[in-house]
């Protein structure tokens, strides 16, 4: 696929002040601030700019927009970044390595290598999917992976939360403020969630737990999701559950594996940073969904990115002074 916004061939280079990996909200915000800081930056993104915004139907919790379609917000963010000179290139990053001379080499699937003394990793992550028929067809039309993002669209409806860990049980409780009925569909006979979260769910009259149930298929019509086909993991009996929403919480995989050297992270692979978004690898910054934090929203992503971009500018200024001295 050709990137329509790519620079002319005679302007293409591979040496930069900073390389931004990922063009979701965090990456685009970082690019805007780097442009304002007069840094020579490049944003590498394997697809169209926007990240998870492209998979979100409506955004109603981003300041300044009472309601906006996810792809429309993505377009506005990309346009804003380009107004400040953002160089966004359609490149799939395969590895990030810091050389002995403290310069980063970022390799891509096309065989290109980009270099810079600083990198901002905003590659985000991916909610784990069930991988069943109907899931992708109803994504954004009944199927969601974010309760905070989409819960308000299901006021007075009957919905299902799929999973049994902390996220599933906690978000099920959160969704009861909107839905009239919330089923937790779990393939085992007990939760993995923390006991305090379990107790909260068990005592919530709006929540009903369906134990030992595996979701086989998501069924609907042109208007959206209508039913889940379930199979009991012990008896093998199948049944249908009438719901208009299904929230899938079976894990989230951060794209931190792009960095081929060790850096501090938690047990799930989320990157640990300080308050300047610096990782344990000097010159490598992280922002957005792949960083350890309480919540993952568009607002937190751009906040992280703002801090990271400004911190990179200060890092490069200090580096330049050190090399000159």
The string of pLDDT tens digits covering residues 97-146 is 999 999 999 999 999 999 999 999 999 888 889 999 999 999 888 999 88
Burial grade of 14 (CB within 10 A; 0-12, 13-18, 19 or more): middle
Residue 245: name the closest of 154, 137, 146, 147 by CA. Answer: 154
How confident is the model at residue 147, as a pLDDT?
Answer: 86
Burial grade of 65 (CB within 10 A; 0-12, 13-18, 19 or more): middle
- For 204-257, write each residue's pLDDT tens digit: 999 999 999 999 999 999 889 999 999 999 999 999 999 999 999 998 888 888
Residue 11: name the closest of 107, 87, 113 by CA. Answer: 87
Give yes or no on whether 9-127+252-324 and 143-248 have one common fold: yes
Residue 111: name the closest of 88, 98, 92 by CA. Answer: 92
Burial grade of 31 (CB within 10 A; 0-12, 13-18, 19 or more): buried
Asked if 135 contacts 218 with a C-beta cutoff of 8 angstroms, the reply is yes
- For 290-312, write each residue's pLDDT tens digit: 999 888 889 999 999 999 999 99
DSSP-assigned beta bridge partners for residue 254? 125
149, 173, 289, 304: the active-site residue: 149
150, 173, 289, 304: the active-site residue: 150
Rounded to the nearest integer, the mean pLDDT of the chain is 91
Asked if 172 contacts 201 with a C-beta cutoff of 8 angstroms, the reply is yes
Beta strand 158-162 with 252-254 is: unpaired
Assigned CATH class of 9-127+252-324: alpha beta
What's the gap between Cα 66 and its chain centre?
22
What would the mean pLDDT of 53-76 be, rounded to a whole number? 87
| Packing angle of the helix pair 25-36, 70-83 (nearest 10 deg) | 20
The CATH code for residues 143-248 is 3.50.50.60
- For 156-174, write each residue's pLDDT tens digit: 999 999 999 888 998 999 9
How confident is residue 5, by pLDDT bands cut at 50, 70 and 90? Answer: very low
Asked if 284 contacts 104 with a C-beta cutoff of 8 angstroms, the reply is yes
Asked if 107 contacts 60 with a C-beta cutoff of 8 angstroms, the reply is no
How confident is residue 13, by pLDDT bands cut at 50, 70 and 90? Answer: low
Report pTM: 0.74
Domain boundaries, the chain: 9-127+252-324, 143-248
- Return d(Cα 256, Cα 263) in angstroms, integer: 9
Known active-site residue 146: yes
3, 72, 146, 166: the active-site residue: 146
How confident is the model at residue 268, as a pLDDT?
Answer: 85
Q: Which residue carries 């090399």 as its tokens?
A: 323
Asked if 24 contacts 52 with a C-beta cutoff of 8 angstroms, the reply is yes
Q: Is 85 left (phi over 0), alpha (psi -120 to 50) or beta?
A: left
């Amino acid at each position: 696929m050709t990137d329509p916004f790519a620079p002319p061939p005679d302007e293409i280079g591979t040496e930069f002040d900073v390389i931004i990996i990922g063009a979701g909200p965090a990456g685009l915000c970082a690019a805007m601030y780097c442009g304002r800081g007069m840094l020579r930056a490049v944003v590498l993104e394997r697809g169209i700019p926007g990240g998870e915004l492209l998979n979100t139907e409506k955004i109603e919790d981003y300041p300044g927009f009472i309601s906006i379609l996810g792809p429309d917000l993505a377009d506005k963010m990309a346009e804003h970044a380009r107004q400040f000179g953002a160089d966004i290139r359609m490149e799939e990053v395969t590895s990030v390595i810091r050389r002995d001379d403290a310069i980063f080499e970022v390799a891509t699937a096309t065989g290109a290598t980009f270099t810079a003394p600083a990198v901002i990793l905003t590659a985000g992550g991916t909610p784990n999917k069930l991988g069943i028929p109907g899931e992708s067809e109803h994504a954004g039309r009944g199927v969601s992976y974010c309760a905070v993002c989409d819960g308000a669209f299901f006021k007075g409806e009957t919905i299902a939360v799929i999973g049994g860990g902390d996220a599933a049980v906690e978000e099920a409780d959160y969704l009861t403020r909107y839905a009239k009925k919330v089923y937790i569909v779990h393939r085992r006979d007990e939760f993995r969630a923390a006991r305090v979260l379990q107790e909260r769910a068990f005592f919530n009259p709006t929540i009903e737990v369906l134990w030992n149930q595996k979701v086989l298929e998501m069924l609907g019509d042109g208007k959206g999701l209508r039913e889940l086909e379930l199979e009991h993991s012990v008896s093998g009996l199948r049944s249908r559950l009438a719901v208009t929403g299904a929230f899938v919480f079976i894990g989230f995989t951060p794209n931190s594996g792009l960095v081929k050297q060790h850096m501090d992270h938690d047990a799930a692979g989320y990157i640990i940073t300080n308050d300047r978004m610096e990782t344990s690898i000097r010159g490598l910054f992280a922002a957005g969904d792949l960083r350890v934090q309480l919540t993952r929203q568009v607002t937190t992503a751009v906040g992280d990115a703002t801090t990271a971009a400004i911190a990179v500018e200060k890092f490069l200024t200090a580096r330049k002074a050190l090399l000159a001295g």
